[in-house]
Amino acid sequence: MVKRYLTLISLAEANDLIARSFAFTPGTESVPLEAAAGRITAAPVFARFSVPEIHLSAMDGIAVRSAETARASEQHPVTLTDAVRVNTGNIVPSEYDAVIMIEDVWEEDGKYTIRKAVSPWQHVRPVGEDIGESEMIVPTHHRIRPHETGALAAYGVTHLDVLAVRAGLIPTGSELVPLGVRPVPGKVVESNTLMAASVLQAAGASARRYPIVVDDYDLIRDAVVRGVAENEILLISAGSSAGTRDFTADVIGELGEVLAHGVGIKPGKPVIIGRIAGKPVIGLPGYPLAALTVLREIVLPLLARYGLLPPEAETVDARLTTSLHSDIGTDEFVLLTAGRIGDAWVAVPQSRGAGVQMSAVRANAYLQIPASSEGVEAGGTVTARLRVPKRTAEEVLLITGSHDPALDYLADLARSGGVDLHSTHTGSMGGVLALRKRECHAAPMHLLAPDGSYNVPYLQRYLPDGDLLLLCVAERQQGIISREGLGFDDLPEHTFVNRQKGSGTRMLLDHTLQQRGIDPASIHGYDREVTTHLAAALSVKTGEADAAMGVYSAARALGLAFFPVATERYELAMHRDTLEDPRAQTLVETVSSDRFKQILRDLGGYVTDETGVMRELRAGQPPQG
């Protein structure tokens, strides 16, 4: 048995350790004002001169001596002996002490007549009205807001001393290829330092990515020596575990010291906190979502100690759709898709696999399960920390149920209409159950009933009291996907990959097997499950299975053969009152649009005659429409 970690400390201990171990002295640099927005001042900034430096007219009008206007009134207009035309911003000559707006002046033969007295200094912008020479404009550690560049320019500032934290990023790993190179199977594109650089830059640091270093102790050591010399903070990507080729901890230990190896967070446990030449050196785990978690929970708080505060997360209280169990002693972070259904927020957990980067693309929020908790049950309320502006999260429509590649294209079209479709692939029955619990806005489904009809019997059974709608996306072809053009009856002689229980595709398969008198037990691979059409097609393409059942578009996307088995009605089920939501209206309009129908025809395998047709189900009544 291998002992993997030198130490395993809690997240709070890790951040305390960091706070104690470094001086956090940021570098500073001078930037021109044009590039100052978003930067943080390293010193107070003072006005170089007063604005205005001399009394100016605040209006287009005439400069006057106020004493001369004292007796003017509607009944007794006064024609001034001494006045001068000024535009807004012109100097008010020192012999005058007020300005009258041009709208209130009658001019004739170069003489000005007025009908109202004015008080001294009316419509005059006095010296220093805006700011006085030597006054402080902004203090130290002020983040320059974009509009403030204007004020700074007006007060004579041309350059600003701002905080500059340089972070170096060293990717290590013999399996890595650089961006732009097509990896052969078993190799991967080096993407973690790009992700880290983008995250650090967004927080206000500068980030420098070094070339990839293969798993070689000496090469890694040389890169670390250089990275420490050239930066305030160094991140070493991967090699932070305790596998046979994980050198990061040993290199840090040789050049400085390993303060901690292993932190009780998930994902992200194999992180290294080290110190070389007084500078923080962090070993990031190799799994992208583990690296992202360490960036968010450890590296950004570290940056904040230099004055670079990360963007703030808004939170919403949301109802969790599935139970999440977690180990005591580990702070676990779970990515979520949060959406507002009616007045309540619902949070759908994403895959917890640390290698599934798409989870972080799909997710708009996350939650933390503290080390003291064993998890949260489905239906419980959690605090979802948003990773997008709340307004953007408000645009989410949660789509839970059967998967179809056309949903991505529907999402693409709807996005321009301000609606953000988030699909969770649970299979048709999962969608029906989510709809019953009001945990999605719409449930895509294609469930064949014994009477040969689609969807309605299941909704009547599982949501008998619901006022529901069924919006037809398309009638679509399901068939056998294979490399060699297999038909349905070829299945028993070949390896198969199935879809998950509760999926309409699996039910269609079972129905068809029964019709043809084929025993599922005779099909090798019947128990191997994947959750999308494309995943099934991929299994076929790679040779893991000879055949799968799925839609034509998945076969076509991967260049595989397709043998049609059945045409089925693929519909979006939703509660009728959901249509009161303008986002749902946009969804209906998008499904019904000519553009979407054209996309379906281009994808192939869809019949669009029924696309956009709406069926109504009232509680206790036969369906309409």
Site for its own copies, residues 161 to 180, rule: CB under 8 A: 175, 179-180
Identified binder of its own copies from the candidate list 197, 443, 459, 549, rule CB under 8 A: 197
Between 187 and 436, CB nearer to its own copies: 187
Window of 7-15, 29-37, 325-333, 585-593 that interacts with its own copies by CB under 8 A: 29-37
Q: What SS3 class is residue 342? A: coil
Strand partners, 99: 63
Identified binder of its own copies from the candidate list 16, 82, 135, 222, rule CB under 8 A: 135
Rounded (5°) CA angle 190-266-391: 80
The residue count for the chain: 625
Q: Which residue has the tokens 């670390």?
A: 224
Size of the site for its own copies (CB under 8 A): 134
Q: Does the protein bind its own copies through residue 194 (CB under 8 A)?
A: yes
- DSSP labels, 376-418: E-TT-EEEEEESS-HHHHTTEEEEEE---THHHHHHHHHHTTT
Q: Does the protein bind its own copies through residue 95 (CB under 8 A)?
A: no
Backbone phi, psi, residue 531, to 5°: -110, 0
Q: Does the protein bind its own copies through residue 24 (CB under 8 A)?
A: no
Task: Name the token pair of 365.
Answer: 């929020």
Between 190 and 332, CB nearer to its own copies: 190
Among candidate residues 381, 351, 247, 240, the one with its CA nearest the CA of residue 299: 240
Q: Does the protein bind its own copies through residue 113 (CB under 8 A)?
A: no
Give the footprint of its own copies on residues 341-370 (CB under 8 A): 353, 355-358, 360-361
Q: Does the protein bind its own copies through residue 539 (CB under 8 A)?
A: yes
CA distance 41 to 54: 30
211 prior amide bond cis, ω within 30: no
Between 117 and 358, CB nearer to its own copies: 358
Q: Does the protein bind its own copies through residue 85 (CB under 8 A)?
A: yes
Give the footprint of its own copies on residues 230-259 (CB under 8 A): 241-245
> Smallest gap, in angstroms, from Cβ of residue 282 to its own copies?
16
Q: Does the protein bind its own copies through residue 537 (CB under 8 A)?
A: yes
CA distance 227 to 211: 11
Identified binder of its own copies from the candidate list 158, 381, 514, 598, rule CB under 8 A: 158
Task: Name the token pair of 607.
Answer: 């019949």
Between 46 and 563, CB nearer to its own copies: 46
Helix %, strand %, coil % for the chain, to 5? 30, 30, 40
Task: Name the token pair of 467.
Answer: 């006022």
Window of 126-134, 275-283, 424-432, 451-459 that interacts with its own copies by CB under 8 A: 126-134
Q: Residue 321 class from Cβ within 10 Å (0-12 exposed, 13-18 middle, 19+ buried)?
A: buried
Give the footprint of its own copies on residues 571-600 (CB under 8 A): none
Give the footprint of its own copies on residues 475-534 (CB under 8 A): 528, 530, 532, 534
Q: What SS3 class is residue 419? A: coil
> Smallest gap, in angstroms, from Cβ of residue 457 to its own copies?
32
x/- string (CB under 8 A) for its own copies, residues 406-445? --xx-xx--xx-----------------------------
Strands 529-530 and 496-499 come out as: parallel
Among candidate residues 367, 506, 379, the one with its CA nearest the CA of residue 436: 379
Q: Does the protein bind its own copies through residue 117 (CB under 8 A)?
A: no
Q: Does the protein bind its own copies through residue 386 (CB under 8 A)?
A: no
Between 180 and 450, CB nearer to its own copies: 180
Strand partners, 524: 495
